[in-house]
Amino acid sequence: MNVSKTGFGTHEGQEIEQYSLSNDQGMTVKVITYGATITSIAIPGADIVCGFDSLEGYFSDAYLNNAPYFGCTVGRYSSRIKDGKFEIDGQQYTVAVNDGTNHLHGGIVGFNKQIWSAEEVEEKDAVGVKMSRKSPDMEEGYPGNVEVSVTFLLTNDNELNISYEAETDKATPLSLTNHSYFNLSGFKQTIENHKAQVSAKSHLKPDGTNVPVGEIEDLSGGAADLSKGKRFKEAFSELETGFEHYFLFDKDAWQLEKVAEFEDEESGRKLEISTTEPGMLFYSGYFTSDELKRENGDQYGRYRGFCCETHRYPNGPNIADSPKSVTKPGEKYTSKTVYKVSW
């Protein structure tokens, strides 16, 4: 097993570094300090996530105009906050509105556009990198000085463990996730023939601006029900723009459990996802631009990558009884998600 560091370019006068994590099975994960972003998850014969091999890819007009958030760490709060407003302890806060009338993925300059500090991590059966930053009080409108870290750890069992920790000096919304898009065919095909199974029979129903406001909708037996497993194309035939559903997992809250499995039968590749989180914003990439591709020609675009954003409830600060959407001083925010790959 090995971890190595190389330069990945310069942004606003600061050096961006890339860390490569390799195990003994032929799996390599690459993460850059810009946005604590996964740029590559490579296994023998394929790279299975959307990303770029140079920093310029993340600043092309096609990428900036489409803003798909490939592989980045999202924060302070994942998904949408309705109208960019929330109230904590009687005080009203306004955060940046960057998605129609709503706040999305931490705002205009969220965690995905910040440069993180990094240190290598080596354990007996794993190698990794820990990335950290301090988010100052009122960054993007959020209260509190927050110290946050995300650790990427690759094991010899072909598991990528992503662990988040944070502490704050004021009560603040926190919901962190990774935004990698997967295609187990190695982008030889769309994801339509992938078989998907998600341990959830309900989701948070969004309003007309695509933000949940608290209503839980049963999906049992419908097009979006993946609880028994189905090919994506079966669901796509009935869902006009595919999946953009916040699934509520059938699991014990805050326990690390397997929640989803995806398989490309032609290649024999499989992805299993486990998490401590209560749900997942599942997106099947309908709006991803067909102009985007990796430097080696791997083609991205509509239905060419699915995203499993495990995190707290979207719009959680505005939903009564939303679990752990606000972290308070003296509390420690923790979260863990595991991607296990087999081939």
The string of pLDDT tens digits covering residues 9-31 is 999 999 999 999 999 999 999 99
pLDDT over 70 for what percent of the chain? 100
- Name the band, by pLDDT with cuts 50, 70 and 90, for residue 90: very high
- Name the band, by pLDDT with cuts 50, 70 and 90, for residue 273: very high
| pTM of model > 0.85 | yes
What pLDDT, in 10s, does the model give residues 289-342? 999 999 999 999 999 999 999 999 999 999 999 999 999 999 999 999 999 999
> Rounded distance, CA 101 to CA 71, Å?
25
* From 103, 105, 139, 179, the catalytic residue: 179
From start to end of 107-173, where are the E strands? Answer: 117-123, 126-135, 146-155, 159-168, 172-173
Check if 179 is active-site: yes
pLDDT at residue 57 greater than cutoff 90: yes
Cα–Cα nearest to 309, from 218, 198, 224, 144:
198
pLDDT at residue 253 greater than cutoff 90: no
Average of per-residue pLDDT across 191-208 = 97
What pLDDT, in 10s, does the model give residues 58-79? 999 999 999 999 999 999 999 9
End-to-end Cα distance, the chain: 19
Q: What pLDDT sits at residue 191?
A: 98
Side chain identity at 116, as an amino acid letter?
W
* From 17, 244, 272, 309, the catalytic residue: 309
Check if 309 is active-site: yes
Q: What pLDDT sits at residue 252?
A: 86
Cα–Cα nearest to 68, from 316, 323, 342, 302:
302
pLDDT at residue 105 greater than cutoff 90: yes
Average of per-residue pLDDT across 70-95 = 98
Cα–Cα nearest to 28, from 10, 51, 7:
51
